[in-house]
Amino acid sequence: MATQFVSPSEIRTKFSRALSSLYQNEVPLYASLLKAVQDVNDATLAANPSLKAQLIATDELDRLSLERHGAVRLGTADELRTVGRLFRVMSMHPVGYYDLGSAGVPVHATCFRPAAAAELSRNPFRVFASLLRTELISSPAPRALSREVLARRKIFSDRAVRLVRLCEEQGGLAGAEADEFVGEAVKTFGWHPTAVVTAGEYDVLARENPLLADVVAFPGPHVNHLTPRTLDIDEVQRAMLRARIPGKDAIEGPPLRKCPILLRQTSFKALEEGVRFPTERTGGRVSVDEAIEVGGVEGVHKARFGEIEQRGAAVTRKGLDMYDGMLRGARSRGLDAGKKGYKEAFATYPDTWKELRREGLVWCHYTATGKKGLETGDYEGLTRGELEEKLVEDGFVTYEPLVYEDFLPVSAAGIFQSNLGVKGNDVSKEAGKGDQEGFQKALGDLVIMDQMKLYEKSQAESMDKCLAHFGL
Ligand code: OOG
Ligand code: NI
């Protein structure tokens, strides 16, 4: 009898749940945030029966308050490559390249996420994974220290690596293997209260750039936040204040609109956590499999927080360029999110679905409406674009925007900066360029996918189905 493998989406769901309970245990304030989000979502649904019906119809109600993303920061190419293989077990693939160097944060990143529409609808959980670029650290001492420490650490348990390999060899994982994999994978991202460098070395790293201390000083890449989905982020922002959760001052991303686009985010600020620093740097290979027994001194580290997101429509390249242009305009006038005048900076961005679609600013999912009586003769000789327009205009096809599944580099950079206290000018001049080639090389044979191509494919497939339905 052939082995029954657990589906990647099921493993992904188990993984995201296990990571959530780990994080709630490690960062209790995060559990309070989840509760606040749940309360706001419940109230929003109670006030909005049609929204509730829509979520039931699309099978989303049960999963509403589940995490939508997390983030980890990696130290070496090897770590990135192995993390990539680990996520592939759950059908999470590298999508998009994010250069944060130009914003003064010495990392570049990708998003590991499901790529196919069917996988996304089963569970869209994704992880923003950044890789430290030590070449952007201008001071020789912290740069050398970082490289030396990172070269020796081993962030995956031996069992985790064996299970990844087993999955690659057999093409999947069976029940008990999948459960064990989830346990071992989650361990990779847990918190280690004992640093691998001395308090003095920690200071050398942190003075150069707090991000260095966060990535280098510990035995593993602790998850630095998780992010549930909310139906009303403006209300959660107020609820955080009421619950005395130390929230950020403003919601990042596009201002509040009638037609939400892209991604809006807010968070509570990183908390201080106790750390034990060894009196000598931990000798030999640093491994997560070895319990590290040290004397040493107590200290604190501040990096881990909780975030909330509300996702809107996926915009096309044209839509993204328009958004970026308006954002640049606002920021060049000192208007960051939350400042008076920020909202107005986006005032000319169309805000009806009809305009957004017709001007090619958003990606859509098309479905046949059920209207009868289409005469194929009326549609002869039209180009694909004209066909789409006419089908919508004649009421045979309807559309809804595709959800934006990715990240925003400016918001991401802001998240690093506000939680770590990274200043904009801490990295060398080389940073402005980005290094997608280098990042791809680090990933090895896992190829970075282009998010625009994924949205385009998803839209095209939905229209293909409509055309086939009408025999066009
Ligand atoms: C990741 C920041 C990116 C987001 O929501 O934009 C991110 C990090 O701070 O490591 O998670
Ligand atoms: Ni985030």
pLDDT greater than 60 at residue 288: no
Residue 412 C-alpha to ligand 1 middle, in angstroms? Answer: 5
Residue 133 C-alpha to ligand 2 middle, in angstroms? Answer: 20
For residue 428, the model assigns a pLDDT of 55
Residue 101 C-alpha to ligand 1 middle, in angstroms? Answer: 14
In a domain, 458, yes or no: no
Residue 13 C-alpha to ligand 2 middle, in angstroms? Answer: 18
For residue 422, the model assigns a pLDDT of 74
Pocket of ligand 1 (CB under 6 A): 71, 73, 128, 130, 224, 265, 307, 407, 411-412, 415-416
Q: In terms of domains, do 381 and 412 share one?
A: no
Q: Which residues contact 229 (CB under 8 A, 6 or more apart)?
A: 37, 64, 65, 66, 68, 308, 309, 310, 311
Domain hosting residue 199, numbered range = 5-314+406-434
In a domain, 452, yes or no: no
Q: In terms of domains, do 267 and 333 share one?
A: no
Q: pLDDT exceeding 70 applies to what percent of the chain?
A: 94
Task: Place 241 in a pLDDT band, splitting at 50, 70 and 90.
Answer: confident
At 77-131, the pLDDT tens digits run: 999 999 999 999 999 999 999 999 888 899 999 999 999 988 998 999 999 999 9
Residue 298 C-alpha to ligand 2 middle, in angstroms? Answer: 29
Residue nearest to atom 9 of ligand 1 (CA): 416
For residue 430, the model assigns a pLDDT of 57
- To test the ligand 1 pocket, which listed residue (407, 408, 418) has its Cβ within 8 A of the most ligand atoms? 407
Mean pLDDT, rounded, for 48-70: 84
Residue nearest to atom 4 of ligand 1 (CA): 412
Ligand nearest, relative to CA of residue 413: 1
Q: In terms of domains, do 274 and 371 share one?
A: no
State pTM to two decimals.
Answer: 0.94
Tally helices (H) and strands (E) across the chain: 17, 13
Task: Place 269 in a pLDDT band, splitting at 50, 70 and 90.
Answer: confident
In a domain, 347, yes or no: yes
Mean pLDDT, rounded, for 55-75: 86
Q: In terms of domains, do 249 and 391 share one?
A: no
Per DSSP, 196 falls in state S
Q: Where are the beta strands (DSSP E) in 25-83?
A: 67-74
Ligand nearest, relative to CA of residue 105: 1
Mean pLDDT, rounded, for 228-249: 89
Task: Place 18 in a pLDDT band, splitting at 50, 70 and 90.
Answer: very high
Task: Place 142 in a pLDDT band, splitting at 50, 70 and 90.
Answer: very high
At 383-435, the pLDDT tens digits run: 999 999 999 999 999 999 999 999 998 889 888 888 887 765 545 555 567 89
In a domain, 447, yes or no: no
CA distance 461 to 472: 14
Q: Do residues 132 and 74 touch, judged by C-beta distance below 8 A?
A: yes
- Give the up-direction half-sphere exposure of residue 222: CA atoms within 13 A in the CB hemisphere: 26
- To test the ligand 1 pocket, which listed residue (224, 225, 252, 418) has its Cβ within 8 A of the most ligand atoms? 225
For residue 285, the model assigns a pLDDT of 44
Q: Which atom of ligand 1 is nearest to the CA of 72?
A: 10
Instruction: Indicate the residue type of 380.
Output: E
CA distance 146 to 429: 19
Q: In terms of domains, do 228 and 267 share one?
A: yes
In a domain, 448, yes or no: no
For residue 22, the model assigns a pLDDT of 97
CA distance 92 to 405: 12
Residue 395 C-alpha to ligand 1 middle, in angstroms? Answer: 41
With tokens 């201002």, the residue in question is 255
For residue 292, the model assigns a pLDDT of 54
Mean pLDDT, rounded, for 153-168: 97
- To test the ligand 1 pocket, which listed residue (110, 133, 248, 415) has its Cβ within 8 A of the most ligand atoms? 415
How many domains in the chain?
2
- To test the ligand 1 pocket, which listed residue (128, 269, 404) has its Cβ within 8 A of the most ligand atoms? 128
CA distance 313 to 285: 47
CA distance 312 to 316: 13
Residue nearest to atom 2 of ligand 1 (CA): 412
Q: In terms of domains, do 114 and 195 share one?
A: yes
| CATH number of the domain bearing residue 95 | 3.10.180.80
pLDDT greater than 70 at residue 291: no
Residue nearest to atom 3 of ligand 1 (CA): 412
In a domain, 98, yes or no: yes
For residue 66, the model assigns a pLDDT of 78
Q: In terms of domains, do 353 and 265 share one?
A: no
In a domain, 451, yes or no: no
For residue 284, the model assigns a pLDDT of 42
Q: In terms of domains, do 185 and 264 share one?
A: yes
Q: In terms of domains, do 285 and 420 share one?
A: yes
Residue 416 C-alpha to ligand 1 middle, in angstroms? Answer: 7
Residue 98 C-alpha to ligand 2 middle, in angstroms? Answer: 13
Q: In terms of domains, do 296 and 185 share one?
A: yes
- On average, the pLDDT of the chain sits at 91
Mean pLDDT, rounded, for 227-244: 91
Q: Which atom of ligand 1 is nearest to the CA of 227?
A: 5
Mean pLDDT, rounded, for 369-382: 93
In a domain, 277, yes or no: yes
Residue 145 C-alpha to ligand 1 middle, in angstroms? Answer: 25
Which of 73-77, 290-294, 369-373 is the least confident region? 290-294
Instruction: Indicate the residue type of 202.
Output: Y
Q: In terms of domains, do 265 and 332 share one?
A: no
pLDDT greater than 60 at residue 459: yes
For residue 420, the model assigns a pLDDT of 81
